Structures are given as structure tokens and as C-alpha cells.
Amino acid sequence: MAILPILEYPDPRLHTIAAPVATVDESVKTLIGDLADTMYAAPGIGLAATQCDVHQRVIVIDTSDTRDQLLVLVNPVIKRADGEQVFEEGCLSVPGIYEEVKRAEHVVIEALDREGRLFTLEASGLLAVCIQHEMDHLMGKVFVEYLSPLKRNRAVQRLRKRRRERAPA
């Protein structure tokens, strides 16, 4: 298992559309393990392969307090989405920036698990937000792209300031 580097906004590779996984083989299982290690180490509650410059439809999520409920989504598809919720989101590719985004309150998805078995999942609240956020990454979309141009520019300025302050002198 390995901790992978995470791409940071506005890296153009974050806008790559991920390809579906043909078979959940050993290389995909290694990727799943590496993404999980990277998410737990960050720490985060989700991570899409896109963020680690791997352009396959693979996501890991763990929104549990105990950090031991790993959810693996391979080739996820939203079958139903309804309701509305506004949640203050963060992103490991946009470190230190938290902004409100409006998304569906409830989603029903289909995906393959880490053994390649098809399953259906119903989610609401934080889990539904996280699934939608990670699925956006697979489509090359980063959450700040939902913000108004003014709010997005402010977020980019804050990100640049944060990087300047953290750069070695």
C-alpha cells in the first residue's frame, strides 16, 4: 500500500474525465488500497482516483466517526437524485477552502464493490454530498466550479496566499 500525491487545483489534470474500469483485477485492487491509505492519511472522508492522477472511475469514501467503514465505488452511476441540501464542502485538492454547495439530499447509486460485485446504495445527508462530490471529480469537476466567479476568485486568492505562506523561505 502507498500514499499517493494529491493534485491541487487548478492543476489541469483535475479536469480529465475518468474511464470506466473494465475488470476489478489486482491492479484495481491495489489502486483501491492506495486511495484508501491516501484518504485516511490526508485525512479526508473521500477521494477519487482523478485526484491522484489516475483516470479510472474509482472512489473511496469513509464518513464514519470510527474511520473503519470503507466504502468503495467502482464505475458508480446515479440512478435517482432528489431533494436539496446545502453543505459546506472541503476538498483535498483545494486545501483550506470550505464553501457552501447545493446538491441533492438523497441519491440512489449503483456501483461495483472492491470484489467487482454490483450493488445498490441509498444515501442521504453527508454521505450523499460526499458521493456527489467524488463523482464530480471523476467527471473532471472540482467543487469550487459551482461557486460564483467572485467567490471562486476569492477562493483561488486564498489558496495562493496559503501556498505562499507555506512555501519554504
Active site residues: 134
Cell 479536469 belongs to residue: 15
Map the footprint of ligand K1U across residues 120-139, applying CB under 6 A.
129-130, 133-134
Kindly state the smallest distance separating residue 168's Cβ from ligand K1U, in Å: 25
By the rule CB under 6 A, 97 interacts with ligand K1U: no
**132, interface contact from Zn ion, ligand K1U, none, CB < 5-8 Å by kind:** none
By the rule CB under 6 A, 43 interacts with ligand K1U: yes
Q: Are 82 and 108 in contact (CB under 8 A)?
A: no
Strands of 90-141, DSSP E: 99-103, 106-112, 118-124
- Grid coordinates of 1: 500500500
Q: What string marks each residue from 116 to 145 as x (binds Zn ion by CB under 5 A) or -?
A: ------------------------------
**What gap in Å lies between CA 67 and CA 65, rounded to an integer?**
6
Q: Tell which one of 91, 101, 129, 155 touches Zn ion (CB under 5 A).
A: 91
Q: Specify burial of residue 138 (Cβ count, 10 A radius: 0-12, 13-18, 19+).
A: buried
**What gap in Å lies between CA 64 and CA 45, rounded to an integer?**
8
Q: Enumerate binding residues for Zn ion (CB under 5 A).
A: 91
Residues contributing to the site for ligand K1U (CB under 6 A) = 43-47, 51, 89-93, 129-130, 133-134
